[in-house]
């Protein structure tokens, strides 16, 4: 096993456990915002997309990269915005919506 793969697998396994523990505690009340937030976070694919689009090594890779950057950006902008919008709607009794 190469050291890169080994480190990568350690990171993956540990991050999965952190994820399982953290997300198990999320109240079912917030499951929809949870999904839109993780959706925005998985748009981290933008990192790879920017590199492929910006390196401009072949025209194919530039085109594919550019589309990928646009797709990721849709989820970054849309995902965070709608999560915030949803969370603003949750209020306790006795308090009017801001």
Partner 1 sequence: MIERAIPFLYLAAAGSFVLALKWLSAVSTARRGVIVGIAGMALAVGGTLLRPEIVSYRWIGAAFVAGTVIGVPMALMPMTAVPQRTALSHAFGALAAALVGTAEFYLRAPRIDRVTMGALVLEVLLGFLTFTASLMAFGKLQEILPTRPITWRFQNIVNLSLLGLAAGSGVYLVVRPDSVWLFPAFVSLSLLFGVLLIVPIGGADMPTVISLLNSYAGLSAAAMGFVLDNKLLIVAGALDGSSGFILSVIMCRAMNRSFTNVLFGAFGKVRDEDRPAGELRPVRSATAEEAAGILQAAGLVIVVPGYGMAVAQAQHKVRELYDVLTKAGVEVKFAIHPVAGRMPGHMNVLLAEANIPYDRLMEMEEVNSEFPQADVALVLGANDVTNPAARHDRTSPIFGMPILEVDKARTVMVVKRSMNPGFAGIENELYYLDRTLMVFGDAKAVVGSIVRELSGGGGR
Tokens for 24, please give them: 């198990």
State in angstroms the smallest separation of the CB of 69 from partner 1. Answer: 4
Name which of 23, 26, 25, 32 is nearest 79 in CA terms: 32
State in angstroms the smallest separation of the CB of 47 from partner 1. Answer: 5
Q: Does 92 bind partner 1 (CB under 8 A)?
A: yes
State in angstroms the smallest separation of the CB of 74 from partner 1. Answer: 4
Name which of 84, 19, 74 is nearest 46 in CA terms: 74
Q: Does 98 bind partner 1 (CB under 8 A)?
A: no
Radius of gyration from C-alpha coordinates of the chain: 18
Q: Does 29 bind partner 1 (CB under 8 A)?
A: yes
């Amino acid at each position: 096993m190469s050291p890169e793969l080994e480190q990568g697998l350690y990171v993956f396994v540990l991050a999965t456990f952190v994820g399982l523990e953290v997300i198990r505690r999320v109240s079912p009340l917030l499951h929809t915002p949870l999904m839109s937030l993780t959706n925005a976070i998985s748009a981290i694919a933008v990192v790879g997309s920017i590199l492929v689009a910006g390196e401009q090594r072949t025209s194919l890779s530039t085109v594919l990269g550019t589309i990928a950057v646009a797709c990721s950006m849709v989820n970054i902008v849309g995902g965070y915005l709608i999560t915030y919008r949803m969370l603003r709607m949750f209020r306790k009794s006795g308090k009017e919506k801001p």
